[in-house]
Amino acid sequence: MTVQTTLGEAGEKMDKAISVLKDELGSIRTGRATPALLSRIVVDYYGTQVPIQQLASFSVPEPRTLMIQPYDKNAVAAMEKAIMASDVGITPSSDGNVIRLSFPPLTEERRKELIKVVHQRGEEGRVAVRNVRRHSKEELERLQRAGTISEDDLARSEKELQKLTDHHVAEIDEIVVHKERELKEI
């Protein structure tokens, strides 16, 4: 293991932490209809658990309406059932061919709750990035103890690791602020 390998792996793991945060925040409703809100829904399709995105196409005819067009009309009932059982909190309406989800405007109280959730998820992302930094720092110190790198190399690589961490934490902060702004829009 080299310094560059350790730093490279740290960067990849931090990028993954940010990717997970984006996915989680994408499923938080902002008052606008978006297919990302259904990203975690799994449908029991002929005895197999299948993500809803694989069973239908999605369109947004109006800002607060999401239309789901199943590829197989026989899956409509199973999709409705999965949406009802999910934490989306919306009752689907169906005409047998398409499913419509109408999103009511968010109340001020619900917006505040969602902003708290966004901040909590952001903090979880920052903790994940810091954990990656800690593990990478331990790996660098192990390299130094083994005599693979000098103390100067260790100090330099720790500074580089800190820059990497700061960059990713700043990116997380930016994502959280953006999502908060989205939630505050009326």
User: Do both 11 and 79 map to the same domain?
Assistant: no
CATH code where residue 151 lies? 1.10.132.20
Mark out the alpha helices in the chain (DSSP H runs).
3-26, 76-85, 108-145, 151-184
User: Do both 72 and 111 map to the same domain?
Assistant: no
Out of 77, 102, 127, pick the residue that ends a domain: 102
First to last CA, the chain: 52
User: Do both 114 and 97 map to the same domain?
Assistant: no
Residue 99 burial (CB count, 10 A)? 23
Q: Is 67 strand, coil or helix? A: strand
* 7 closest CA partner among 172, 157, 171, 126: 157
CATH code where residue 68 lies? 3.30.1360.40
Out of 102, 120, 148, pick the residue that ends a domain: 102
The pTM for the full model equals: 0.72
User: Do both 13 and 61 map to the same domain?
Assistant: no
Cα 118 off chain centre by: 10
User: Do both 98 and 119 map to the same domain?
Assistant: no
User: Do both 78 and 122 map to the same domain?
Assistant: no
Give residue 56's domain range: 35-102
Query: pLDDT per position in the chain (186 positions), as tens?
Result: 788 999 999 999 999 999 999 988 877 766 677 787 788 889 998 889 999 889 999 998 888 888 999 998 888 889 998 988 877 777 888 888 899 988 878 788 888 888 998 999 999 999 999 999 999 999 999 999 988 899 999 999 999 999 999 999 999 999 999 999 988 876
* 101 closest CA partner among 113, 86, 117, 115: 86
- The total number of structural domains in the chain stands at 2
